[in-house]
Amino acid sequence: MLGNVSPGLFLILGGLILPLLPRRGRMTMTLLAPLLGFAHIWTLPEGVVSSIEYLGYTLELVQTDALSRLFGTIFGLMAVVGGLYALPQKNTLESASALVYAGGAMGVVFAGDLLGVFIYWELMAIASTLIIWSPGTPESRRAGLRYAFIHLLGGVVLMAGITGQITATGSADFTAMTADSWATWMILIGFLINAGAPPLTAWLPDAYPEGSWSGTVFLSAFTTKTAVYVLLRGFPGTEILVWVGLYMIFYGIIYALLENDMRRILAYSIINQVGFMVCGIGIGTEMALNGAASHAFAHIIYKALLLMSAGSVLYMTGLRKCSDLGGLFRTMPVTAFCGIIGALAISAFPWTSGFVTKSMITQGAADEHMLWAWMLLQAASAGVFLHAGIKFPWFVFFQKDSGLRPGEAPAPMILAMLLFAGLCLFIGVWPDPLYALLPYPVAYESYTGAHVVTQLQLLLFSGLAFFILLPLMKRTLTITLDWDWLWRVAGPAVAAFLLRTVGPVWTGGLSVTRRGIGGLIAITARTHGPHGALGRAWPINTSAVMVALFLLLYLILFFVWPAG
């Protein structure tokens, strides 16, 4: 029986036990539970591994195929290396929630039916909210609450869609759908909310940077990439996703260019990168779907690496704004080196992981002769180097010296960063093992002379643009308003306005109505009450007289009425 459980359960159970353990036990559990889950993925046979009948539906508790194994593998790897990085973290709530969160993500990818997906989906929402809350600052409390609201809303939309879909098809099976009924649209919208799609994009850059130095590393990996997974399985080739993805790509770049908080820059670039994947899913060819899946795999590694290097700076200095940082390469060379590797990988620089994965998405657009999508993807690739590839390392580790000379982070954090930096280069230089894991056979050669040369041109000239335009990029102590302004400022303001204006009218109207109703009741009681004219009990003889009168009336009418 143990052989057939979802790999996610190892992590979820580990996370639930973790708070009961002493500090050393907690550290062991942080590594052991994901290692067990990770190993378990590779012992599961192909297909539906375990299913039960429940309320007349077949629930496929565990189902494996190439796609779920790919995502399960990267989630497991992320949980292990993220756990290693987070070993110096003493906050028990965060350590436990991180395990449950990662387990939830693994649960989603191995669930064969929509109900299983939903249950693990909600578990992730709860666990990730707890991670955001775990620093216990007022900012994290408020941001976590906003985060929870959005995700609970997304969960309701998703559940409504799932219910509709099950009613319509009679099956809870999670297979490819087309967005052609309200139910499938609701499912698509529920998925997209977690992917960070417009208009609810703001939950991500709002909440993620409020996590602790280690918490944000976990947050970056699971929610959005689980959404990419469910979109890959549920809605491949849905054309609207191309445009949703392109919006996310450019939104991420533009907002990251304006941002001052180093981890919020990286949060915006998550949306940018997920945009590439969503776009690939929308293109929907085997090339593009392979691109989206492999890019998700590579992205989890380099994005975690970037946030680990940012987290190390935060851990050693307590500072998070670019305008306070700079010149840290002197005393944090390993952290700077790993940050730069991550930055090159996210920019799809040749010989890093992004180069061999993202190019499959752009190639997919070219194969389909989507000129506009291809042009925008190329422009965006240049923009990624601009907003994340150079901006992040430049403002954190170089630029104008901050005068601070913090030491390197503790050994487990350095080791985790080196592991992921090594993986970024390994995948970039030798992509075949990753290609072998992809859902479709790979007929793509990324290292052609033309591809390397054009990519180097694209990236290096965007680097030139960065340094020429540096005066325009001067960091300021500002934030940039986003859609969340609508529910953080406009919504409450409208509510307050209504309370001031419509409120009294409403209260007044209500009391007038109440008085009216009271009056009506009083009149009715007077006329129909025990002593009212119409409510009195009449003596029997009066009734007999009345009946006789009616009979008389009837007879008169009967004879008088002209026969027709």
Partner 1 sequence: MTHTEPGSDAPRIVQVTETPPSGVMPRTRAPDEKQPWFVTAKGIRILWWVFGIVLALTVLAELVVHLHPHFGVDGWFGFHAWFGFLSCVAMVLFAKGLGMALKRKDTYYDAG
Cα–Cα distance list, 15 to 42, 83, 99, 130, 214 (Å): 21, 12, 5, 12, 16
Q: Output 478 or 524, the one with its CB closest to partner 1.
A: 478
Q: Output 163 or 317, the one with its CB closest to partner 1.
A: 317
Residue of 36, 49, 42 lying closest to 10 (CA atoms): 36
Q: How far is the CB of 323 from partner 1 (least distance, A)?
A: 4
CB 316 within 8 A of CB 253: no
Q: Output 474 or 500, the one with its CB closest to partner 1.
A: 474
The letter for the amino acid at 530 is P
Q: Supply angle C-alpha 430, 432, 436, rounded to 5.
A: 155
CB 94 within 8 A of CB 134: yes
Q: How far is the CB of 64 from partner 1 (least distance, A)?
A: 37
Q: Output 386 or 423, the one with its CB closest to partner 1.
A: 386
Residues 398 and 391: their CA atoms lie apart, in Å, by 10
Q: For residue 43, what is the enclosing H or E element?
A: none
Token couple for 279: 């776009």
Q: Output 20 or 371, the one with its CB closest to partner 1.
A: 371
Q: Output 379 or 437, the one with its CB closest to partner 1.
A: 379
Q: How far is CA 305 from the centre of its chain?
A: 19
Say how many CA atoms lie within 13 Å of 78 toward its Cβ: 37
Q: How far is CA 94 from the centre of its chain?
A: 18
Residue of 341, 304, 314 lying closest to 409 (CA atoms): 314
Q: How far is the CB of 387 from partner 1 (least distance, A)?
A: 8
Q: Output 163 or 480, the one with its CB closest to partner 1.
A: 480
Give the total residue count for the chain. Answer: 564
Q: Output 145 or 549, the one with its CB closest to partner 1.
A: 145
Q: For residue 307, what is the enclosing H or E element?
A: helix 286-317
Q: How far is the CB of 242 from partner 1 (least distance, A)?
A: 17
Q: Output 115 or 370, the one with its CB closest to partner 1.
A: 370
Q: How far is the CB of 98 from partner 1 (least distance, A)?
A: 16
Residue of 122, 115, 148, 118 lying closest to 133 (CA atoms): 148
Neighbours of 16 (CB within 10 A): 13
Residue of 74, 64, 133, 142 lying closest to 98 (CA atoms): 133
Q: Output 435 or 466, the one with its CB closest to partner 1.
A: 466
Q: Is 54 helix (H, G, I), strand (E, B) or coil?
A: strand
φ/ψ of 325, rounded to 5, equals -105, 180
Q: How far is the CB of 469 from partner 1 (least distance, A)?
A: 5
Q: How far is the CB of 345 from partner 1 (least distance, A)?
A: 18
Q: How far is the CB of 239 from partner 1 (least distance, A)?
A: 20
- Beta carbons within 8 Å of 447's beta carbon, 6+ residues apart: 350, 356
Q: How far is the CB of 465 from partner 1 (least distance, A)?
A: 4
Q: How far is the CB of 1 from partner 1 (least distance, A)?
A: 43
Residues 202 and 208: their CA atoms lie apart, in Å, by 10
Q: How far is the CB of 44 from partner 1 (least distance, A)?
A: 38
Residue in this structure with the two tokens 């969503």, named with its chain if needed:
278
Residues 562 and 564: their CA atoms lie apart, in Å, by 6
CB 191 within 8 A of CB 223: no
Q: Output 450 or 537, the one with its CB closest to partner 1.
A: 450
